Structures are given as C-alpha cells and as structure tokens.
C-alpha cells in the first residue's frame, strides 16, 4: 500500500487520536507531535494485517504518550509557578465532559491510572484492549481505572452550569476584575476560591495558587490599581475553555491570555489563567 492509502485510513481518526493524546499530556503541541509520530509508524506497518485500525492506532498513541510522560515529569518538576494544561477553546457543540479541573486531577494520577481511566471511562474502550495497550491484565486495568475514578471524584466533583449563566458570570467577573470593583468581586467569588496563574516563568504570574476570597480580591484590586487604571486589557471574546466559561484577552503588555472559571452554585470556585505564550501559540490569530 502507498502513502495515500495510509492517509485515507488515518486522517478520519486523527481528531479522536489527538483528543486522547491531549488528555493524556495536557499539551496541544505534544499531542499533535505524538499523533504525527503514530502516523509515521502507521506508514511502516503492514496495514493489510491490521483488522481494526482505530484500536491499533489508539494503542500506538497511548504507548507514545506514556513514553512522553517520563520526560514530561522532569519538566513539570522544574516548571516555574503553577502548571496548567494548554487551553483549548471549544464551540458550543464541542463542549465535552473532560473539563480543565478534571484534566488537572488526571495530572495527579500515575500515567497508567490516567491511561486506564481515559481509555475506559472517557473513550469507552473495553478492558481487554486497555490491558493489551498497557501490558497489564484486564483485572489489573480495572483496578487502575477504579483507583483513578475514586481519586478523581474525591478531588474534583463535577458541577454543571447552564451555558448562558456561565458566560454571564464570566462577563461580570471580567468587568469587576478590570474595574477594581471589589464589592462585585466578592459577590462573585466563593469563600474558598483558588486562583491559578500560569506564566511559566516567561510572563508575570503568581508563583503559587492564591487561596481564599480576601487574598484573591486583594490580588485583583492591586492589578486593577497598578495596571488597569493606566490601560485596560482588550477583550477578544467570551467563550468556553476546556469545558469552563471564560474569556480571551490581550493584556497591556500585548500578552494573549485565557481565563477559565470553575463555578458551583452560582459562585466562582476556581480561576485558571494561562499567560505562558508557549501554551497559547495555537490560539494566536
């Protein structure tokens, strides 16, 4: 078989393979690289002998991701400040159950737990195939997925927010945080709100998560007084980012920035800000 035939079989599967890789790695660029590597391996495969191309390629991508995570672990240990997954902006019909908080919870699992949970619970792969992919028995894979499921639920329960309500809260937060309206900010935030800001050591950002309503309000008040009083950031649009309502802005230092909000019972429980330009290249333009 020639390359055109390989692409014909591979290309329809590429978006799904990228979704698997992105949820494993938390990086759009790394996911695309892994899937391209899988395509190169697909070219070198005796494709006539492959009865189920999707299952075969899913295994290849998952194994490549597990290899990638070994080197990613060292990069995370030396990363400056909080690490957040690369933001993915979703259209209304594309919003999925794998939200940013869930992705952060997945990062705290072992690579094998993460793979078993994602393949089975998110992508609906049977444990026989999961076992073949991970080189474990089906029983062991069930245990991996069960442990992951328990940890994820305890770490990050899911709260569904109507889409328009989420976007309305995002708009109110944008205005209050830029205008320094501390009364409105307090009304929007939960008492135990946590603000995460990922600058990667490249752009200014808090080096640790800011915990609690008063510290978060003070941090936003300081930025409003010292920065926004001189020049306001430019709103690009309100949108959903990794399943959460939020917005994209261009800040006064010409930094592209995403802000995603986790909301429960009408209050913002977590703020996720990505400023690291290396994580935003796929959104620029």
Domains of the chain (ranges, CATH numbers):
1-78 (no CATH), 100-157 (1.10.10.10), 163-283 (3.10.450.50)
Looking at the DSSP bridge assignments, the partners of residue 271 are 195, 261
Q: How far apart are CA 230 and CA 212, in angstroms?
A: 27
Q: What is the 3-state secondary structure (H, E, C) of the chain?
A: CCHHHHHHHHHHHHHHHHHHHHHHHCCHHHHHHHHHHHHHHHHCCCHHHCCCHHHHHHHHHHHHHHHHHHHHHHHHHCCCCCCCCCCCEECHHHCCCCCHHHHHHHHCCCHHHHHHHHHHHHCCCCHHHHHHHHCCCHHHHHHHHHHHHHHHHHHCCCCCCCHHHHHHHHHHHHHHHHHCCHHHHHHHEEEEEEEEEECCCCCCCCCCCEECHHHHHHHHHHHHHHHHCCCCCEEEEEEEECCEEEEEEECCCCCEEEEEEEEECCEEEEEEEECCHHHCHHHCC
pLDDT for the residue 166: 94
Tokens read off for 280: 């935003």
What is the pLDDT, as a whole number, of residue 285? Answer: 54
The pLDDT assigned to 1 comes to 43
User: Global pTM?
Assistant: 0.86
Q: Name residues of the chain where pLDDT drops below 50.
A: 1-4
Give Rg (Cα) of the chain.
Answer: 21
Tokens 């959104």 map to which residue?
A: 283
Torsional sign, CA 272, 206, 27, 283? positive
Contacts of 217 (CB under 8 A, 6+ apart): 182, 185, 186, 189
Q: Which two tokens stand for residue 69?
A: 């995570």
* pLDDT value of residue 226: 78
| Residue 2 pLDDT | 45
């Amino acid at each position: 078989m020639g390359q055109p035939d390989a692409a014909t079989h591979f290309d329809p599967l590429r978006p799904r393979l990228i979704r698997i890789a992105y949820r494993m790695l938390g990086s759009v660029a790394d996911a695309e690289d892994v899937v391209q590597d899988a395509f190169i391996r697909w070219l070198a495969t005796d494709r006539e002998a492959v009865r189920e191309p999707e299952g075969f390629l899913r295994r290849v991508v998952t194994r490549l991701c597990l290899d990638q995570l070994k080197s990613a672990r060292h990069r995370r240990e030396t990363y400056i400040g909080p690490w957040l997954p690369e933001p993915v902006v979703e259209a209304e019909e594309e919003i999925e159950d794998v939200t940013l908080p869930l992705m952060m919870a997945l990062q705290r699992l072992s690579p094998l737990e993460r793979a078993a949970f994602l393949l089975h619970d998110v992508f609906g792969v049977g444990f026989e195939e999961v076992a073949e992919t991970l080189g474990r028995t089906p029983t062991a894979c069930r245990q991996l997925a069960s442990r992951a499921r328990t940890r994820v639920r305890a770490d990050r329960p899911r709260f569904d927010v109507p889409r328009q309500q989420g976007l309305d809260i995002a708009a109110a937060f944008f205005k209050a945080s830029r205008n320094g309206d501390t009364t409105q900010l307090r009304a929007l935030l939960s008492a135990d709100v946590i603000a995460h800001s990922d600058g990667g050591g490249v752009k200014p950002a808090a080096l640790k998560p800011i915990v609690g309503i008063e510290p978060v309000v003070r941090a936003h008040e300081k930025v409003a007084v010292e920065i926004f009083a001189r020049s306001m950031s430019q709103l690009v649009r309100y949108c959903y980012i990794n399943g959460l309502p939020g917005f994209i802005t261009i800040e006064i230092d010409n930094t592209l920035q995403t802000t995603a909000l986790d909301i429960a019972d009408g209050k913002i429980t977590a703020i996720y800000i990505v400023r690291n330009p290396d994580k935003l290249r796929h959104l620029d333009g």
